[in-house]
Structure 1
Amino acid sequence: MAIAPWADFITRWNDGKVTPEELTDWQTSALRTVLGHVYDKSPFYGRRLAGVNLDIKELTGLADIPFTTKDDLREAMHDMLSGTVADAAFYFETTGTTGRPTPCPRAPIDFDLNVLPLAHALDAIVRKHFTGTEERPVLAVVAPNDVHAACLSLSFAAKQLGIAKLDLFPITPTLGFARFFEVLVELKVNMILCSPGLLMALAEMSSTYGVEVPEDLSVKVLLTTGEMCSDGMRDLLAQTWHAESYNFMYGSQEAGCPAVTRADGTVMAVEPTYLLEVLDLETEASLGLQGYGELCLTTLVPGLKPLIRYRTGDLVEIAPDASGRRAVQVLGRVKDMTRIGGAKRSAAEIDNAILADPELIYGYEIDVFSDDGEDRLEVRAKAKEGADHDEIKKLVSGRLTAAFGVPAEVKIHPLLDLKSATGGWVSWKTARIKDRRVPEVADDIEARSAADLARAVERAI
């Protein structure tokens, strides 16, 4: 499959030169092609799609195609591929923090078409912040790079744009936190890509290494990825680092990057290469390509591991903006929703209620209790230096009670569990919430993975 026609169409779409009718025709044709591709080449989809009408004439026909689940990926493993690992340009795999690691090889067409929207997004942000200045961008990617796509993808995107880029993951024996902070200062790094939780942990621990955030650094742009970044967390990052914070890219090892930020901060679906379908949380029925519910992805690129109606487990709200493009809000995971005061609350709702005063706190952990059937909340908040503790308690407890209709007690803690900083790579809820109303799972892989990550950070510190 030639890459050039895809790249040309993506670039035209990015530049606003594709009409809605052209996009729909492109997506419908690409959907038919990718369905035939996986049926012919993937052992898993050859079985799963047997007897299914794949000659789809309209995008609404997508709802008649069977789902693909995370369990399918773990059970099928290499049978999910439309080819072999030898066909790949690069091999990646999932981290195994939520279950069995699964192969995620990328053929040249997969990798190149995944990098292109990242390059477009990065270019827009660089132009916004560096045009008309003598300063040139230096991008540090603070993420693991062992069989992980983020570092390599950003390397290629940065290279296309002529941006200096370095991998700078402190939780490794070859770097460590002391040298991490030295490099930030020495190179005058002015852009960082990192998970939100780790960015806050870095700000909090920096003084231990003789560096004050933000005073001693040159960082002006934060690009977040790897876990949910609520509006409250985005504002907390911006206030703490004195930098503009972007929810840069949404994606996964399995699915690639189906949504990227614009320079105005809106996260947009990459519609030429993905269909972002929304499923009703109760009925699992398709709501089409917009609405509130679980995100279900279909890869349109006929590469090495296309996924058809892949249930991500992520909670989203998708709506068209003024230009007709679809804006994506990622609100956490569906399974991370917590029933408080008789209603299910998303991770983003809880985050935004607690983090509404970014000048006061670094982060939090929360316990949910039930007394005679009535819910109550206990919050442990990490106060910023000089913040009024009584003011924090009053503001946070008041907002939680107003938002969720339950009493809330706030305590100021000098140090939070490191899982609240690193555990978000595994699960936002595992990292921050303990539901005391239900018994703990004896062998919870997500809890174990979050604890393992926290121990790795402790060793690196």
Structure 2
Amino acid sequence: MFTVYHPESAELTARLWDQHVELLAGRWDPRRLAEHQAELFRTTVSYVRERSTFYRSRLAGVRLADDGPLTEAELASIPFTSKADLREAQFDLLSRPVPAAWIFYETTGTTGAATPCPRDNVDSVHNNTVLTEYYRTVFGRFGDAQVIGVAGPSELHATGDTFGDVCRNLGLAVAKMWPHSPMIGFPRALEVMRLLPVTGLFCTPGMALALAKKARESGLDTRADFHLDVLMLTGELASPGLLANIGELWGATAHNALYASQEASVLAAVTGDGSLSTAPLINYYEVVDPVTLAPTPADASGVRQGELVVTNLYQGAKPLVRYRTGDLVRMYPAAAGAAAPVPTLEVLGRVRDELVLNDHPVTGYDLENLLLRHVRGYLDYQVVLDRGTTGADRVTLVLQGDVDPTDPALAATVEDCARELGVELLVSFGDPGAITGTGAMVSWKAARVVDRRSPDDHETRVAHALAARRA
């Protein structure tokens, strides 16, 4: 409704809506998309250089061609923007003052200084249009009588506003519930989910498991006593194995629904075929080697793996130029017949979360999927790393929940670890505690991995402190 009072936003919304409808219909060919991205990339560079104190200095010597395709040489002439830059620059990074925004958010600040992330109407319209049209292909499968729950991390986070606005666009009722809030709590959140009933839920994977655990402790059956059709999971690592288990626990479809950050906003979102689809009309993507920072070449299948770098193609309160996300991804080329004819992503975890087991590097995503792809019925999990009697690295998978110790799935997982990683796997059962629910605030590694081969790092200590407060 706010667009009634801001005609320029109404015009922008209509234009972006048309563009994304055409995109999903396959009417953007590669040439048109490349021209669109090159033009808006240059516009963003000019915009931030003129308006942002940080970028005015950082990009002072950058000169780009007026038109034509973006070249590797042009990109290489533009410095990267890092998370450290955001923490140090603070409000100097903004391209519009806070009073020109419609809302103020900030990063959680759990592992470093919180950084301001205000958004104006331009930011929200661009990002929410992508989510509206992508999610239409998901929720459209479940009919008209839907109530969508939103469980987010804090009041200064975009989760509730973003998903609430998108669901309103789609004609879906919303209930915002914060189970960690002292005013709500897990018992009331579960009661609301049953009463309405909630048919879809936006939350982190850890929250989906925590709600299932609390429901079971209360004597409730997550499949029979609730009516979830779809879980839209975000904020943490979500491998196919974990998604399958969460979906089975709740008798619902579980999606890795969104890849985004407070700083960079929407980078990819789920579409109807379950793919995490990029948003190329509003972002320019690069995949680089996290050490050399050189572009990573595609393999024989066109897949590129490395650190994701993004430039926002819209000019709002805080557009970022060549922002190093710190996340490892696999980027796949657009697949024939996909719900959205755009490249798709697998988000493999943070660069610093990559592990080395017996000299074999493995991402958090790949390790989680290796450990969990066969196992079902658990309500929580943790990974413990240590060294066996021979001095070789060893992995222990700690499971909580209804898993039979004689389940053949466990034996298959032990065999997979030996074959694929050359690592001995032990399986034990127990309660990992509250630390596993801190992933969205800290990192997957700090929340899920106990690495006894090395002393605790800063993020792990922060995760323990957060868990102690929640407990």
- Tell me, yes or no, if structure 1 residue 136 matches structure 2 residue 145: yes
- Tell me, yes or no, if structure 1 residue 98 matches structure 2 residue 111: yes
Is contact 1:361–1:381 with CA below 8 Å preserved after alignment?
no
Structure 1's 348 and 399: CA in aligned 2 closer, same or farther, altered over 3 A?
A: same
- Report what 1:59 is aligned to: 70
Return the offset for 1:369.
2.2
Return the offset for 1:434.
2.2
Is contact 1:368–1:375 with CA below 8 Å preserved after alignment?
no
Return the offset for 1:8.
3.3
Is contact 1:68–1:307 with CA below 8 Å preserved after alignment?
yes
SS at match of 2:35: helix
- Within 2, Cα distance between the matches of 1:423 and 1:94? 14
- Report what 2:156 is aligned to: 147
Is contact 2:304–2:330 with CA below 8 Å preserved after alignment?
yes
Once the two structures are superposed, residues 224-271 of structure 1 have per-residue CA deviations (whole angstroms, 9 ceiling, x without a partner) of: 001111111111111111101111110000000111111010111100
Structure 1: gaps spanning 5 or more residues:
none
- TM-score, normalised on structure 1? 0.92
Is contact 2:150–2:174 with CA below 8 Å preserved after alignment?
yes
Is contact 2:230–2:252 with CA below 8 Å preserved after alignment?
yes
Is contact 1:378–1:411 with CA below 8 Å preserved after alignment?
no
SS at match of 2:439: helix
- Tell me, yes or no, if structure 1 residue 221 matches structure 2 residue 230: yes
- Report what 1:34 is aligned to: 44
Matching residue's letter, 1:40:
E
Return the offset for 1:389.
4.5
- TM-score, normalised on structure 2? 0.90
More displaced, 340-349 or 207-216?
A: 207-216
Q: 1:359 aligns with which of 373, 376, 399?
A: 376
- Within 1, Cα distance between the matches of 2:418 and 2:378? 18
SS at match of 1:409: strand
- Within 2, Cα distance between the matches of 1:190 and 1:106? 30
- CA-atom RMSD in angstroms: 2.0
Structure 1's 203 and 302: CA in aligned 2 closer, same or farther, altered over 3 A?
A: same
- Report what 2:95 is aligned to: 82
- Tell me, yes or no, if structure 1 residue 285 matches structure 2 residue 268: no
Is contact 1:355–1:361 with CA below 8 Å preserved after alignment?
no
- Tell me, yes or no, if structure 1 residue 409 matches structure 2 residue 419: no
Is contact 1:114–1:257 with CA below 8 Å preserved after alignment?
yes
Q: How do residues 220-299 of structure 1 correspond to structure 2 at under 5 angstroms?
A: 220-287=229-296, 291-299=304-312
Once the two structures are superposed, residues 266-310 of structure 1 have per-residue CA deviations (whole angstroms, 9 ceiling, x without a partner) of: 111100000121002342102379610001111110111000010
Structure 2: gaps spanning 5 or more residues:
1-7
More displaced, 429-438 or 180-189?
A: 429-438
Structure 1's 211 and 397: CA in aligned 2 closer, same or farther, altered over 3 A?
A: same
Structure 1's 412 and 88: CA in aligned 2 closer, same or farther, altered over 3 A?
A: same
- Report what 1:376 is aligned to: 393
- Tell me, yes or no, if structure 1 residue 12 matches structure 2 residue 34: no
Is contact 2:236–2:439 with CA below 8 Å preserved after alignment?
no
Is contact 1:191–1:219 with CA below 8 Å preserved after alignment?
yes
Is contact 2:249–2:377 with CA below 8 Å preserved after alignment?
no
- Report what 1:164 is aligned to: 173
Aligned sequence identity (%): 33
- Tell me, yes or no, if structure 1 residue 43 matches structure 2 residue 53: yes
Once the two structures are superposed, residues 2-43 of structure 1 have per-residue CA deviations (whole angstroms, 9 ceiling, x without a partner) of: 625444323322332222211111111001111000000000
Q: How do residues 383-422 of structure 1 correspond to structure 2 at under 5 angstroms?
A: 383-385=400-402, 387-389=404-406, 391=408, 393-413=410-430, 415-422=431-438
Return the offset for 1:390.
6.5
SS at match of 2:277: strand
- Within 2, Cα distance between the matches of 1:315 and 1:405? 23
- Report what 1:428 is aligned to: 444
SS at match of 2:268: strand
